[in-house]
A and B are shown apart, each in its own frame.
Chain A
Amino acid sequence: MSERLEMQIDGADLDKDDPVLEVSGLKKSFGGLVATDDASLQVERATITGMIGPNGAGKSTLFNLISGFYEADEGSVTVNGTEVTGKEPHEIAREGLVRTFQTPRKLEGMTVREAMMVGPQHQTGESVLPLWLSPSSVAEEERRNLERAEELLELFEIDHLATEMATEVSGGQLKLIEMARAILSEPDVLLLDEPVAGVNPTLAKNLAGFIRELNEERDLTFLIIEHDMGFIMELADPIIVLDQGRVLMEADPETVRNDQRVIDAYLGGAE
């Protein structure tokens, strides 16, 4: 858990048992198409929550609404007890909610470790003045961040890529880098949009391991969209099912797997 959150918990009305993310009555239409329809959900602290649903169910749209990339027509989003509805994505990230993208973003002109070092938030050297007034403390922070970046690359078993150009690595590796970088930003809740799409099975298995490890050791909360049923059913609990922009159900993997409505939704989506 991040320092910031602990401070908030010490000093304020925030409770460790409060959900880290609360979404209520979110609505979003694109022209006539209702992509998100009165979606409400809660993500409890230190869980790995899964989100499934057929193609076009509105999962990515919901992520975009939560993280501030889309503006909701109605409804509200609360992160760590702070309402963030209508805030800019970077403000929401600073509240402790960080997301990755379904299509991994390429960072042109950057090495992998350089791209990683964008992760940490509130870096002293991100302001121009400290670069002149206290260059040594900036360098010190850089050294720390570089070390952390390399540790994570090592954990994800991609440390051999550290000095490669970020545009030269494979799509699956890019997914790993993206997740590792998001972790460097020390979020309280991490939203992953299809983290193993395009990642080879061995790597995907490792990734599940990392997620579990981070969840157990650092109490990091995950909300994960995933198409790979084997992956998500084994990893996540609870699982939220989305269909046609609505939250169809939320339950443990076993219940979800056997629910007739879920089966119907997927069969309907497959037609």
Chain B
Amino acid sequence: MSAAATLPVVGALNSTERNVLIGLAVFFGLLFVSMLAGVIQPRYLFFLLSLAGMYVLLTMGLNVQWGYAGLINFSVAAFWGIGAYCAALVTASNSPLGLELHPVFGLVAAVVVSALVAVLIGIPTLRLREDYLAIATLGLAEVVRLLILNEEQWTNGSAGVSGIPRLFEGLPFDSVIRNFYVVLGLIVVVYLFLRRVHQSPWGRVLRTIRADEDLAEALGKDTYAFKMQAFVLGSVIMAAAGVFYVHLNLYLGPDDLEPIQTFYVWIAVILGGTGSNRGAMIGGLTVVAILEGTRFLNTAVIPAGVDVAPLRLLFVGLLIILVIRYREEGLLPPQHELVAGGVADEKGGGPDE
């Protein structure tokens, strides 16, 4: 008899969930031991966890677009950057705008601007075949980066923005702890929000659109409106991740909008399980663990002189191959019928894995 039989909570999980949970426990256990052993500074650990939280948010955002609705967005980094720059420029002391407002206003600006940009990109592309959005977002990523680089009078250009305030300055905890709780809170709020809207007729229509847009149209669903909603919602979540990042990192430059970031977030969604909110969280966490873990391996395990960091992409590539080979659907693929209010569960049945 395994421990599962004695723990009712664990017993209610299926084998995939159990494995993921065990994996998480081992992972966080190792982190904790490393911290106790002095391999990782506690402050740095919390910084990393906050960074991981930010990736989880980004992954959840892309999952709304690609996982729910099948929208191909190649400008995750740009929407993240729009959010980050909005927050930085509205709040920072050396911002050319000179506003130095409270971070709340940065968040509001980020939400409004990212939603607006998403709508403007969506209007000409979402009525067309899906590849048009992909192409347009490829372009957007570059346009946003170049605008930030060249419009120095608004953005400080390549010098970047510094003097960004920390979050919740008044509270007695250390800032790294505060950041950690802030991102944790954001994740919980976004997750709970997404869970309800996804497991609903709304999410069901998006799932239909993803599978077959013509069919959704034939049944009277305004697919353009649904796709627009998913695109805007996902983009706003990405922007919120950017807002959090600037208050974590306290500096922001155009180099932060590397296109490779978009790629990492895509990997995270696919790895976690396309269309699954929980999968998005696991995927985001795993990708950060690999990206930052390589840095950590450098100092901890590998003898001096060998640099592991350049091998990051190799590790990520290896991971993709393993997932495609052994778990095509990702670590935690979606398991729920999209029926609101637990109505389907009352009736029982449904796919159990």
Residues of A at the B interface (CB closer than 8 Å) are: 67-69, 88-90, 93-94, 98-101, 105-111, 113-115, 117-119, 121-128, 131-132, 135-136, 138-139, 142-143, 146, 162-163, 165, 181-182, 185
Q: Are B340 and A111 in contact (CB under 8 A)?
A: no
Whether A110 touches B207, Cβ cut-off 8 Å, given contacts A125-B200, A131-B197, A135-B340, is yes
Determine whether B92 belongs to the interface, using a CB cutoff of 8 Å to chain A: no
Q: Which residues of A contact B214 (CB under 8 A)?
A: 69, 89, 101, 105
Q: Are B275 and A114 in contact (CB under 8 A)?
A: no
Q: Which residues of A contact B289 (CB under 8 A)?
A: none
CB-contacts of B294-353 with A (<8 A)? 334, 337-344, 347, 349-351
Q: Is the interface of A mostly helix, strand, loop or mixed?
A: mixed
Whether A117 touches B220, Cβ cut-off 8 Å, given contacts A126-B205, A132-B196, A163-B351, is no
Q: Are B211 and A110 in contact (CB under 8 A)?
A: yes
Kindly count the residue-residue contacts between A and B in the assembled complex, taking CB atoms under 8 Å apart: 133
Shortest distance in angstroms between A102's beta carbon and chain B's nearest beta carbon?
12
Q: Are A185 and B220 in contact (CB under 8 A)?
A: yes
Q: Are A118 and B218 in contact (CB under 8 A)?
A: no
Q: Are A111 and B197 in contact (CB under 8 A)?
A: no
CA distance A98 to B220 in the complex (A): 8
Residue of A nearest to B341 (CB): A139
Residues of B at the A interface (CB closer than 8 Å) are: 196-197, 200-202, 204-205, 207-208, 210-212, 214-223, 229, 275, 334, 337-344, 347, 349-351
CA distance A135 to B197 in the complex (A): 11
Residue of B nearest to A95 (CB): B220
Q: Are B223 and A90 in contact (CB under 8 A)?
A: yes
Residue of B nearest to A168 (CB): B351
Which of A93, A106, A128, A162 interacts with B219 by CB under 8 Å? A93
Q: Which residues of A contact B223 (CB under 8 A)?
A: 90
Shortest distance in angstroms between A199's beta carbon and chain B's nearest beta carbon?
19
Q: Are A146 and B349 in contact (CB under 8 A)?
A: no
Residue of A nearest to B339 (CB): A142
List 7 other contacts, CB 8 Å, given A125-B202, A128-B197, A143-B343.
Answer: A88-B217, A90-B216, A105-B215, A107-B207, A108-B211, A110-B337, A131-B197
